[in-house]
């Protein structure tokens, strides 16, 4: 089975702190994604990566950056956390194919105080 | 990607079939219909997808109308563990990474 793991299930940080969210997949997938999920808004794409060291902005990249130094690992960075970044963060991965399906991690619930 | 419309919530009795509708009247010829679900406090889980023909797997069946403007996800014998939010997504296959647009979905509650 494909496994996507995220470094923390719950995280509490203070405003202005630098926050790292780690995601690791074990199926040699090319593509990896970071979403945030908020009530009433569904999932919104922050950034995605289709190869090592490659990244593309999603719909809401402001306030975030990403890093993909190894194929299996995709990190989301909040340079200076703010309260409006309190959310559920979901990582996903997929192969690059015609009908690829996305496999999601369990999510990290981040609270910024 | 085409927008989808789903009812916000539905109930289903345990053991009965759950039929979840989705309207996608602006779907294009090259767009697939995908269904995912999200159980509380977990990441979304892929269920099934299709282009034109009806599809079935171990989890569910997907019925797509002939004009492709709507579809129905069928869980043949709903269990309490099927209580979740179900998302219908339509998207074209593109080169590079294919991100998904999740709407607000249908909250299915399976009642004992």
pLDDT digits (tens, 9 = 90+) for A35-51: 999 887 778 889 999 88
Q: Phi/psi of residue A83, each to 5°?
A: -65, -30
What is the C-alpha to C-alpha distance for residues A7 and A18, in angstroms, rounded to an integer? 15
pLDDT band per the 50, 70, 90 thresholds, residue B94 = low
| Paired tokens of A94 | 């997929």
Examine the pLDDT at B95 and tell me if it is beyond 60.
no
* Nearest chain B residue to A43, by CA: B102
Q: Give the pLDDT of residue B11.
A: 97
H or E segment and range at residue B35: strand B31-38
Average pLDDT for A12-24: 97
Examine the pLDDT at A74 and tell me if it is beyond 90.
yes
Examine the pLDDT at B93 and tell me if it is beyond 80.
no
- The counts of H helices and E strands in chain B are 0, 9
* Nearest chain B residue to A30, by CA: B97
Q: What angle do CA A93, A59, A27 make, to 5 degrees?
A: 5
What is the C-alpha to C-alpha distance for residues A93 and A24, in angstroms, rounded to an integer? 9
Q: Nearest to residue A21, comparing CAs of A40, A39, A6?
A: A6
- Residue, of A2 and B28, whose pLDDT is higher: B28
Cβ distance A104 to B93 less than 8 Å, yes or no, reads no
Which of A40-44, B2-6, B30-34, B55-59: highest mean pLDDT? Answer: B55-59
Average pLDDT for A99-112: 88
Q: Give the pLDDT of residue B50.
A: 92
Contacts of residue B34 in chain A, CB cutoff 8 Å?
101
Examine the pLDDT at B101 and tell me if it is beyond 80.
no
Average pLDDT for A107-113: 96
Cβ distance B104 to A56 less than 8 Å, yes or no, reads no
Cβ distance B99 to A101 less than 8 Å, yes or no, reads no
Q: Nearest by CB to B99, which of A33, A104, A105?
A: A33
Q: Give the pLDDT of residue B98.
A: 57
Judge whether A76 and A23 are in contact, CB under 8 Å: yes
Q: Is A103 on the interface with B (CB under 8 A)?
A: yes
Alpha-carbon separation of residue A59 from A12, A45, A62, A86, B46 (angstroms):
25, 5, 9, 17, 22
Average pLDDT for B62-82: 96
Average pLDDT for B79-97: 82
Q: Give the pLDDT of residue A91.
A: 95
Contacts of residue B36 in chain A, CB cutoff 8 Å?
102
Q: Give the pLDDT of residue B12.
A: 96
Average pLDDT for B62-86: 96
């Amino acid at each position: 089975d494909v496994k996507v793991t995220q470094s923390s299930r719950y995280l509490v940080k203070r405003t202005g702190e630098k926050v790292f969210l780690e995601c690791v997949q074990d199926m040699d997938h090319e593509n990896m994604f970071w979403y945030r999920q908020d009530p009433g808004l569904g999932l919104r794409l922050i950034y995605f990566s289709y190869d090592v060291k490659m990244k593309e902005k999603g719909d809401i990249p402001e306030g975030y950056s990403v890093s993909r130094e190894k194929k299996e690992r995709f990190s989301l960075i909040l340079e200076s956390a703010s309260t409006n970044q309190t959310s559920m963060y979901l990582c996903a991965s997929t192969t690059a194919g015609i009908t690829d399906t996305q496999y999601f991690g369990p999510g990290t619930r981040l609270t910024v105080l | 990607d085409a927008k989808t419309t789903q009812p916000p919530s539905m109930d289903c009795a345990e053991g009965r079939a759950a039929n979840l509708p989705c309207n996608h009247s602006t779907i294009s010829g090259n767009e697939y219909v995908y269904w995912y679900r999200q159980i509380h406090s977990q990441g979304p889980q892929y269920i099934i997808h299709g282009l034109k023909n009806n599809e079935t797997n171990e989890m569910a069946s997907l019925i797509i109308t002939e004009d492709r403007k709507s579809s129905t996800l069928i869980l043949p014998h709903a269990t309490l563990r099927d209580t979740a939010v179900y998302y219908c997504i339509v998207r074209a296959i593109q080169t590079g990474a294919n991100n998904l647009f999740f709407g607000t979905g249908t909250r299915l509650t399976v009642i004992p």
